Amino acid sequence: MQRTSSKWLVMSTIIAYAAVIIALFMGFKAPAAVNVGTVQLQWAQRIIYFHVPVAWVFMLSFTVSFVASIVFLITKKRIWDLVALAGVELGLTFATAAVISGSIWARPAWNTWWTWDPRLTTMAITWLLYVAYFMLRGAVEEPERQARFAAVYSIFSYISVPITFFSIRLARTIHPLLVKGNDFGLAKGMRPAFFAGLIAFTLLYIVLLWHRLRVLQLASRVEALRARILEQEL
């Protein structure tokens, strides 16, 4: 059983990484943004083919964690705690990537690495919320209790994100908005690369989640076996 699943996993991993490389390559080949002034800024703008998919994936990942946390509290099945944990781990990783890529873009575009714009502020808070999630897990010894506490906190984190987002939305943002009403702010020629990026990074996310879950499950099995051995020695 382990054999076949790992064969599929290896194949999917190769496909996902290939898709990401192709998508990023398409990003380089896509037509330059016409509404951007200098050539340097036009190249900087190409970071959206990384920045947007990565930002989409971190939101997806926190959503996965939120749903898994609710399911865990209802069913008390350990696997859902592992899904929630993997979701936060990957979510935080991609969120960090989104922040860094955004910051790199902000430097030429806004002439600063960071500004307390609403979108960036929300991001910083989101990031802190999920860092706190790990601190909470680290502070609880017993696995079952750790899982319960983490699930409750993950629900709170997830719900406070949109509220925080809305709360600072009341102020104006300088962050570009891709979707305004029915408008889609991307020229026709840029769209294939853009959507290829979204699909490729989603694939990558699914594969990484799969990997992480497998490792977490193995780790918990090792832990169980070790406990059993220790017990026999007693």
Partner 1 sequence: MSQFIRATYAIFWKALRTEWRSREIFSAMFVFALLAIIIFNFAFDLRVQNIRQVVPGVLWVSITFAGMLGLNRSFTVEKENDTLSGLLLAPVDRSALYFGKMAANFLFILSVAVIIVPLTTVFFNVNLVRADLLLVLLAGTFGFAAVGTLFSAITVNTRAQDILLPILLFPVVLPVIIAAVKLTAGLLEQLAVADLANWWRLLIVYDIIFLVIAFLTFEYIVEE
Partner 2 sequence: MIKVQRLVKRFGYQYALRGVNLEVAAGETLVLFGPNGAGKTTLLRILATLSKPTGGQVYINGYALPRESGMVRRQIGLVTHKTLLYNRLTAVENLRFYGQIYGLTQLDERVKALLARVGLYRRREDQVRTFSRGMVQRLTIARALLHDPPILLLDEPDTGLDPQASDMLLHLLQEIGGARRTIIMTTHNLSRGLAIADKVGILANGKLSCENNSTALSEDTLRSRYQQITSEAA
The Cα 164–Cα 152 span in angstroms is: 18
Q: For partner 1, how many residues bind (rule: CB under 8 A)?
A: 27
Piece of 54-62, 85-93, 147-155, 203-211 that binds partner 1 (CB under 8 A):
147-155
| Residue in 145, 191, 221, 226 binding partner 1, rule: CB under 8 A | 145
- Tokens in use for 25? 């390559």
Out of 47, 83, 99, 151, point to the residue binding partner 1 (CB under 8 A): 151
The one segment of 20-28, 128-136, 141-149, 159-167 that binds partner 2 by CB under 8 A? 141-149
Closer by beta carbon to partner 2, 141 or else 183:
141
Residue 34 interacts with, from partner 1, partner 2, none (CB under 5-8 Å by kind):
none
Among the residue ranges 9-17, 47-55, 155-163, 218-226, the one whose residues contact partner 2 (CB under 8 A): 218-226
Q: Give the dihedral of Cα atoms 180, 33, 105, 176; nearest 10 deg.
A: -10
Among the residue ranges 64-72, 103-111, 140-148, 169-177, the one whose residues contact partner 2 (CB under 8 A):
140-148
Q: Give CA–CA dist 95/134, Å, rounded.
A: 15
154 sits near partner 1 (criterion: CB under 8 A) = no
- Among 103, 107, 108, which residue's Cα sits nearest to residue 119? 103
CA dist 113 and 129 (Å) reads 22
- Which of 156, 174, 176, 223 forms a contact with partner 1 (CB under 8 A)? 156
- Residue 182 CA, chain-centre distance (Å), reads 26
Binds 163: which of partner 2, partner 1, none (CB < 5-8 Å by kind) = partner 1
Q: Which amino acid is at 173?
A: T
What is the enclosing helix (H) or strand (E) of 180? strand 179-180
Other Cβ atoms within 10 Å of 29 Cβ, number: 10
The CA-based angle 203-209-213, given to 5 degrees, is: 150
| Residues contacting 117, CB < 8 A, separation 6+ | 173, 174, 175
Q: How far is the CB of 221 from partner 2 (least distance, A)?
A: 10
Q: In this complex, which beta carbon is closest to partner 1, that of residue 5 or of residue 96?
A: 96
> Which ranges of 30-174 does DSSP label H, i.e. alpha helix?
39-45, 48-75, 78-110, 118-138, 143-169
125 touches partner 1 (CB under 8 A): yes
Footprint on this chain of partner 2 (rule: CB under 8 A): 141-144, 223-224, 226-228, 231, 234
Footprint on this chain of partner 1 (rule: CB under 8 A): 73, 125, 128-129, 132, 135-136, 139-141, 145, 148-149, 151-153, 155-157, 159-160, 163-164, 166-168, 170
